[in-house]
Amino acid sequence: MINYTIMQKIIDEIKKTSGDMARRGWAESNGGNISLRLNSENYACFDGLQTKSDWIKLPVAIPEIAGERFLVTGTGRFLRNIEVFPEKNIGVIEIDRKGEAWQLLWGYEPTGAPTSELPAHLLSHVSIKKKSDNQSFAFIHTHPNSVIALTYAVANLDTKSLSKILWQSHAECVVVFPQGIEFLSWKMAGSMDLGRATAEAMLRRNLAVWQFHGICGCGRNLDEAFGRIDVAEKAAEICLRVMAAGGAKQTLTDTQLRAIAANFNCPIDESLFE
């Protein structure tokens, strides 16, 4: 049976996150996209709805998410409009029993489809579901200015150097993302290549930067995924300000970074110090 109270709660959650992203300047035009795998309570509230599309084949079979339902922002739709017209700009899709196709249960009024970054979202959901023992449900891709700017301003970036730069730029970073932040060199937006690389990164870390493009983050819920990206973006902004002011004259040492992580019981990825 359709539970409109729970449905409204989920819609309110995505309205809050998408509105925050738009106001931060992370979601120009149709930039940025959000997906939320529905937990058992949320899943059931979309029972009983008449389906709104045929089964539409996924570019690759993903049996690990067979039967799952996702709330996903629409392709070509603006995140800033979700607050005003949620039923036009977001939709709920269901994956078939083999993980080969999706169909629309609700939303994308009058017609539409999920974000073109659907491969990155769905493949990443496989990773985050697995690594969190089915406790993580949210995945966000967005375009924060300072993170993107950093991928132009710093030479020879890789996962180690990017993680270290951000950890050193803001003392809370090592607590929020102790496993670091994956750096992915440029790949075509919406491609399977980008989707696969992002999903692989999500097995190890909760954040991944797409060179010259943006960032992805995951979490138990949208607030956690958003918060991780927000902290990384803040650190990137501080880093750029320091560079503009003539470069760092001092910074957090490896010993201090390890001490902060230990103080908050955060399992830091030691390989990033090598």
Name, in order, each residue with C-beta under 8 angstroms of 44's C-beta and a sequence gap of 6 or more. 3
Closest residue by Cα to residue 73 from 39, 120, 40, 41: 120
Closest residue by Cα to residue 74 from 109, 103, 105: 109
Three-state secondary structure call for residue 34: strand
Q: Which stretch binds Zn ion (CB under 5 A): 50-58, 122-130, 163-171, 209-217?
A: 209-217
Strands 56-57 and 69-73: unpaired
Residue with smallest beta-carbon separation from Zn ion: 214
Q: Which is nearer to Zn ion, 74 or 214 (CB)?
A: 214
Judged by CB under 5 A, the chain residues 133 through 172 that form the site for Zn ion are none
> From the CB of 59, what's the least distance to Zn ion, in Å?
17
> From the CB of 189, what's the least distance to Zn ion, in Å?
6
Name, in order, each residue with C-beta under 8 angstroms of 264's C-beta and a sequence gap of 6 or more. 175
Q: Which is nearer to Zn ion, 147 or 165 (CB)?
A: 147
Closest residue by Cα to residue 120 from 213, 10, 41, 53: 213
Q: Which is nearer to Zn ion, 79 or 260 (CB)?
A: 79
Three-state secondary structure call for residue 111: coil
**Alpha-carbon gap, residue 72 to 35, rounded angstroms:** 4
Does residue 106 contact residue 49 with C-beta atoms inside 8 Å? Answer: yes
* 214 binds Zn ion, rule: CB under 5 A: yes
Examine the residue annotation and report whether 117 is marked as an active-site residue of this protein. yes
> From the CB of 262, what's the least distance to Zn ion, in Å?
36
> From the CB of 214, what's the least distance to Zn ion, in Å?
5
Q: Which stretch binds Zn ion (CB under 5 A): 210-218, 219-227, 228-236, 250-258?
A: 210-218
**Alpha-carbon gap, residue 37 to 40, rounded angstroms:** 10
Q: Which stretch binds Zn ion (CB under 5 A): 7-15, 103-111, 150-158, 206-214?
A: 206-214
Question: Which residue is catalytic, options 13, 68, 117, 237?
Answer: 117
Q: Which is nearer to Zn ion, 42 or 73 (CB)?
A: 73
**Alpha-carbon gap, residue 85 to 123, rounded angstroms:** 28
> From the CB of 32, what's the least distance to Zn ion, in Å?
6
Count of residues that interact with Zn ion, criterion CB under 5 A: 1
Site residues (vs Zn ion, CB under 5 A): 214
Catalytic residues: 117
